[in-house]
Amino acid sequence: MSNIDKDSSIDWARQAYEQLKQKQTQEKEERQKLEKETQEKEERQKLEKETQEKEERQKLEETNISDDDSIPELGDFDKEFTWSAMTLAAQGKKINEISLEEIDWLSRLRRGLEETRKGFVTDLLDKLGDDPLTPETLEDLETLLLRADAGFDSTDKVINALRKKLNEEVVGGEEGINFLKDELRSILEAPIKNSGKKFLVPAKGKLNIWLVVGVNGVGKTTTLGKLAHLAVSSKSKTLIAAADTFRAAAVEQLQIWGDRSNVDVISNKSKNADPAAVVFDAINSAISRETELLLIDTAGRLQNKNNLMEELSKIRKIIDKKVPNAIVESLLVLDASQGQNGLKQAKGFARSAELTGAIVTKLDGTSRGGVSLAVSLEVDLPIRFIGAGEGIRDLRPFNSFEFVEALLADK
Ligand SMILES: Nc1nc2c(ncn2[C@@H]2O[C@H](COP(=O)(O)OP(=O)(O)OP(=O)(O)O)[C@@H](O)[C@H]2O)c(=O)[nH]1
Ligand SMILES: [Mg+2]
């Protein structure tokens, strides 16, 4: 190798060295950047989880604070009271038979349905006035029913009946409203009549098992807590099974509701406990305690939808095998604010969860209360209870007369 050659080879080598050095630095920087990003992501996730857990804890604590909201108080003698009392009187109640619980609930229901009513009835009543019904009012009514998420089938049924009546005679405003109320009631009543039970109450001296099912967040656990309160108020020996073992805070949430009504909760706090095993234990306890009503809370979300249905049928098998004589109800909880989506859920669950009834929650603050009609007509499910608020008293047995009156209440 000549000197020049040697020099240029050193040059070449230096350049190569520099290049490698640069590459190494670059790679090192990239590695550091990646490590930093991963670390930041992990920290962010940790923080999010902590915030979420903190929020869940806070929510649980808040539920705990408003502890004695189980006893209603008599409010003012106002329009709300008068309306509630008249609604009870219209069902044949005598003055001395009217309870504060009923008045309190009707006022809450009326207030709860305000949003649905605003978008639906107030408009209609405004348009109608005292004038007779016209084909145009029917068109308006059609739009309003659909907007309240009553669904196409219910809307068609009501509009066709009204149209038929209108073709036969002149229908005054008030008469039209009364006819409408009858039609709505008959839709809601049909599945209740088919079921042979006007109201769902636990049979005395027997084991009744109510499975509370539904997609996540619709209000299953809250509803179950309120059901426990209702059952205890009507002196049924009650027990709760915490079969939602998927969500970490579920047992704690249920325990709070159990404490509020003085009802024991059977649970298994270990991670990934088998829900069917919890139900098995709960049935054993129910038998030895001579429980009349066993309420079972179930998960709303699992890894996928098939798992959820499989889990429900596994629970059901345990019940059928262990206590074949128990009176079992499978109650689907529906969030009214989800409107037509709830209808889809109902159809899905009806296929695989042997549903016997529905509970419509969150009727307060939604304008989609009409979905109750769609569920009755299209899924033929009797609505058994309705919830209109987060408090312990905000759930009552479903009464189609009161529901329709509250939905169509005058301003
Ligand atoms: N406004 C209102 N909120 C309600 C009603 N029922 C339940 N909620 C609220 O809805 C939220 C979810 O309720 P949960 O009872 O935890 O629902 P869940 O179906 O058990 O949820 P998962 O167990 O996660 O599937 C809570 O914040 C409840 O307070 C109701 O009738 N009205
Ligand atoms: Mg729950």
Residue pLDDT, tens place only, 281-327: 999 999 999 999 999 999 887 656 568 888 899 999 999 999 999 99
Cβ–ligand 1 contact at 359 (below 6 Å)? no
Mean of pLDDT values over 137-148: 86
CA atoms within 13 A on the CB side of 186: 10
**Lookup result for tokens 């109902």:** 346
More confident residue, 367 or 240: 240
Position with higher pLDDT, 210 vs 48: 210
Please give the pLDDT value at position 305. Answer: 59
pLDDT given for residue 301 in this prediction: 76
Strand-by-strand arrangement of the 208-213 sheet: 265-266, 238-243, 293-298, 208-213, 327-335, 357-361, 383-387, 395-397
Q: Report yes or no: 181 and 405 within 8 Å, Cβ to Cβ.
A: yes
- Residue 13: pLDDT band (50, 70, 90) is confident
Binding site membership of 245 for ligand 1 (Cβ less than 6 Å): no
Look at residue 370 in the predicted model and tell me its pLDDT: 86
Cβ of 218 less than 6 Å from ligand 1? yes
Residue 118: which pLDDT band, with cuts at 50, 70 and 90?
confident
The average pLDDT across 329-334 equals 96
Q: Is the CB of residue 396 less than 8 Å from the CB of residue 384? A: no
Query: Between helices 173-195 and 371-378, what is the axis angle to 10°?
Result: 50
- Asked whether the predicted pLDDT for residue 230 surpasses 90, the reply is yes
Q: How far apart are CA 59 and CA 371, in angstroms?
A: 28
Q: How far away, in angstroms, is 300 Cα from ligand 1 center?
A: 11
Average pLDDT over every residue of 160-171: 88
Distance 251 CA to ligand 1 centre (A): 14
pLDDT digits (tens, 9 = 90+) for 50-103: 888 788 767 666 655 455 577 888 888 888 898 889 999 999 989 898 899 899
pLDDT band at residue 243 using 50, 70 and 90 as cut-offs: very high
Task: Measure 203 CA to ligand 1 centroid, in angstroms.
Answer: 27
Q: At what angle do helices 371-378 and 340-352 cross, to 10 degrees?
A: 30
Tally of residues, the chain: 411
Mean per-residue pLDDT of the chain: 88
Determine how β-strand 357-361 pairs with β-strand 327-335: parallel
> In ligand 1, which atom is closest to the CA atom of 225?
15
Could you tell me which residues come within 8 angstroms of residue 366 by beta carbon, excluding any fewer than 6 positions away? 115, 116, 336, 337, 339
The answer to whether residue 122 scores a pLDDT higher than 80 is: no
Indicate whether residue 388 lines ligand 1 (CB < 6 A).
yes
Alpha carbon nearest to ligand 1 atom 13, residue:
219
Which of the pair, 358 or 146, is modelled with greater confidence? 358
Give the distance (Å) from ligand 1 centre to CA of residue 218: 5
- Cβ atoms of 212 and 285 closer than 8 Å: no
Structure confidence at residue 35 as a pLDDT band (50, 70, 90): very high
247 lines ligand 1 (CB under 6 A): yes
Identify the pLDDT of residue 157.
93
The atom of ligand 1 lying closest to the CA of 395 is 31
Gyration radius of the chain over CA positions = 30
CA 252 to ligand 1 center in whole angstroms? 14
Distance 300 CA to ligand 2 centre (A): 7
Long-range contacts, stretch 83-92, CB < 8 angstroms, 24+ apart: 83/107, 83/110, 83/409, 84/110, 87/401, 87/402, 87/405, 87/406, 90/401, 90/405, 91/399, 91/401, 91/402
Of the pLDDT bands very low, low, confident and very high (cuts 50, 70, 90), residue 270 is: confident
The pLDDT of residue 65 is: 47
